[in-house]
Structure 1
Amino acid sequence: MLLLLRWFLLACALLLVASLYPGVQVTGYASALWAALVLGLLNTLVRPVLVLLTLPITLVTLGLFLFVVNALMFWAAAALLDNFNVAGFGAALIGSVIYSLCALVIDAALEQLFGRRR
């Protein structure tokens, strides 16, 4: 149940990103739900492989290259979906930073409300 709540809140966060930054566009809440799902799947399946492959450059840049990896995941999700659009890589970078900050707040709030379950 907590996973569904997090998914719905992340979809709301995606709508917030689209309203705050004009480079990111989501046509509606259903599209935001699909985009949040695709983002979650990409971050679960593809991102670890990319992080491992780019480990040397990530170490050289002291971890800043992870922003690029996050932007690539955001941009890839927009490329896979019709109703979720990102204007370019710069928009993906800014959108992914805002989305990540929202996800951080959502995770902290859910942990505070429900506690950590292991």
Structure 2
Amino acid sequence: MALNRGRLTNNVIAVPSGTTTGIVTVASNKKIYVKSIMVHNTSGVTTAQSAIHYVANGESVGAGTSLFNLTVEPNETIFVEPNYPIVLTTTGDGMSVTSTDATTNYFFTGDVEV
């Protein structure tokens, strides 16, 4: 099994307050290994709440899909690095993020099967 190592997102993804955005999704049953997630609060005054979700194919984002709930202080960055990669295996499986109270930026790293 060959892997394409590195970034899972080509750019920093800005998620406005009050929205949920899909970040990575499995295509053609090519496994995705999420190794780290960087979360930055762009506000200089407001604390942001962020949730990172694992959403299985056919499921919807909700409390039952949340893996990490983060409080990100103004202008701060949090680095989330699980002990073992989060493995997305089936076409349509994905990771989504929700931001409340302030815009937050996200950057995902890991590997993708080729």
- Same fold judged by TM-score > 0.5? no
Structure of larger gyration radius: 1
Higher strand share: 2
Q: Give TM-score scaled by structure 2 length.
A: 0.25
Q: Give TM-score scaled by structure 1 length.
A: 0.24
